[in-house]
Chains A and B, each alone.
Chain A
Amino acid sequence: MIDQSLVLLFITVALASAVEATEALTILLASGITRGWRSTFEGAFLALACLAVIVVGVGTALIRYVPLDVLRTVVGMLLLIFGLQWLTKAILRQTGFKPPHDEHDIYNKEVASLSKGTGILRGQRDSLGFAVSFKGVLLEGMEVVMIVIGFGLATKSGNQLGTASLGALLGVGVMVAVAAVVAKPLAKVPENYMKLGVGCLLTLFGTFWMGEGVGVQWPFDDAFLLVLLAIIFLATLCLIAYFKRVHESGLEVAA
């Protein structure tokens, strides 16, 4: 029988990676079109190699030298912070308090900014395109790396770094394939719904693992993950409904 927490783990990492990949691909597309594809790909591949080294190096060191309870507490805290950050942003966007994430707008701004830069041309290489794609992939990928390491190491079933990495590769791979086919910013990806889902899942695992790390005994053991997911999801729906009404009616939120 497949472990339900492993399935949730895989889905969370794949979705989180897909969201971050959408944002990174917009930067890569803008850089590739304005500065040339060669430097853009070189920068992106170098960043991916750095991220892979961090996953393997940091992941292996952590599992070898840090006790599982400490690891779960720290990973839980980090995931809870990320999860609540993502959930807050997604709920504010969903209710109209924050403008939606517009990949077309970001793409246009990137293109305008990259067209102005001169860069140092070495042969056919463009330093600006290289730097922009390297930085874009590294920064967007860092959150995924934290999630992969966290999910890979804090599970009860032992080292699941491979499963978490596979989830991340699947999420990124799907987005890259879609981007290659449409060859324009992935504006139609339901990014906010994905962020909402990932936010719920990160909050779920963050709460669960942080609690377990400090010694909280969850009822029904791992099966409680589904109950906790239902509670967080229901609370999210209630918050969206309430704040949407507040936004639409123009009522003063402040007391």
Chain B
Amino acid sequence: MHREKIVIAIWKGVKGFFSFWKDFLVGDSPVLALGVVVILGVAYLLRGFVFLAPVTTIGLVLALLVFTIWQKARARRQAIQH
């Protein structure tokens, strides 16, 4: 019984830890975190190209920002309409 309580407490602690970091990093915009990982991968693949790598990285960051705002604005508008 006592061991069970300890296991439950540890499980709750681990779950709380991961949910804290999930809220912290992902929050209500999972597309942002996913997009940043994609940008990282593309920047890594293009790292040898002196011109293409910086231009693509900056372009993707701005595109991610525009997409996230567009997506949220659209959701907000639809929520108001309904």
Q: Do A and B bind each other?
A: yes
* Chain A residues engaging chain B, CB cutoff 8 angstroms: 73, 77-78, 80-81, 84-85, 87-88, 91-92, 95, 97-98, 142-143, 203, 207, 210-211, 214-219, 224, 228, 231-232, 235, 239, 243, 246-247, 252-254
**Are A203 and B61 neighbours in the complex by a CB distance under 8 Å?**
yes
**Are B53 and A210 neighbours in the complex by a CB distance under 8 Å?**
no
Shortest distance from the beta carbon of B44 to any chain A beta carbon, whole Å: 4
**Are A253 and B40 neighbours in the complex by a CB distance under 8 Å?**
no
Residue from the list A77, A232, A252 in contact with B40, Cβ < 8 A: A77
Most buried by B among A73, A214, A246: A214
**Are B62 and A235 neighbours in the complex by a CB distance under 8 Å?**
yes
Identity of the chain B residue whose Cβ is nearest the Cβ of A219 in the assembled complex: B54
Shortest distance from the beta carbon of A89 to any chain B beta carbon, whole Å: 9
Q: Is B76 an interface residue when CB atoms closer than 8 A count as contact?
A: yes
* B contact residues around A252 at 8 Å (CB): 77
* B contact residues around A142 at 8 Å (CB): 24
**Are B64 and A84 neighbours in the complex by a CB distance under 8 Å?**
yes
A84-B64, A216-B43, A216-B46 as given contacts; A92 in contact with B73, CB under 8 Å: yes
**Are B76 and A85 neighbours in the complex by a CB distance under 8 Å?**
no
**Are A88 and B40 neighbours in the complex by a CB distance under 8 Å?**
no
Per-position 1/0 for B47-82, Cβ under 8 A of A: 110100110011001101110111011101110000
**Are B25 and A91 neighbours in the complex by a CB distance under 8 Å?**
no
Shortest distance from the beta carbon of B42 to any chain A beta carbon, whole Å: 10
Q: State the main secondary structure of chain A at its contact with B.
A: helix
**Are A88 and B53 neighbours in the complex by a CB distance under 8 Å?**
no
**Are B27 and A88 neighbours in the complex by a CB distance under 8 Å?**
no
- Known contacts A243-B73, A253-B73; 19 further A-B pairs (Cβ under 8 A): A77-B40, A81-B32, A85-B29, A85-B32, A88-B65, A92-B72, A142-B24, A207-B57, A211-B43, A211-B57, A214-B47, A215-B47, A216-B46, A216-B47, A217-B50, A231-B58, A239-B65, A243-B69, A253-B74
Q: How far is the CA of A203 from the CA of B65 in the complex (A)?
A: 10
Q: 9 closest Cβ contacts across the A-B interface? A: A215-B47, A214-B44, A216-B53, A253-B74, A97-B73, A97-B76, A253-B73, A88-B68, A254-B74
Considering the complex, which residues of chain B in the window 3-46 have a beta carbon less than 8 Å from any beta carbon of chain A? 24-25, 27, 29, 32-33, 36-37, 39-40, 43-44, 46
A81-B32, A81-B36, A84-B64 as given contacts; A214 in contact with B43, CB under 8 Å: yes
**Are A214 and B70 neighbours in the complex by a CB distance under 8 Å?**
no
Q: How far is the CA of A228 from the CA of B58 in the complex (A)?
A: 8
Q: How far is the CA of A80 from the CA of B72 in the complex (A)?
A: 18
Identity of the chain B residue whose Cβ is nearest the Cβ of A247 in the assembled complex: B73
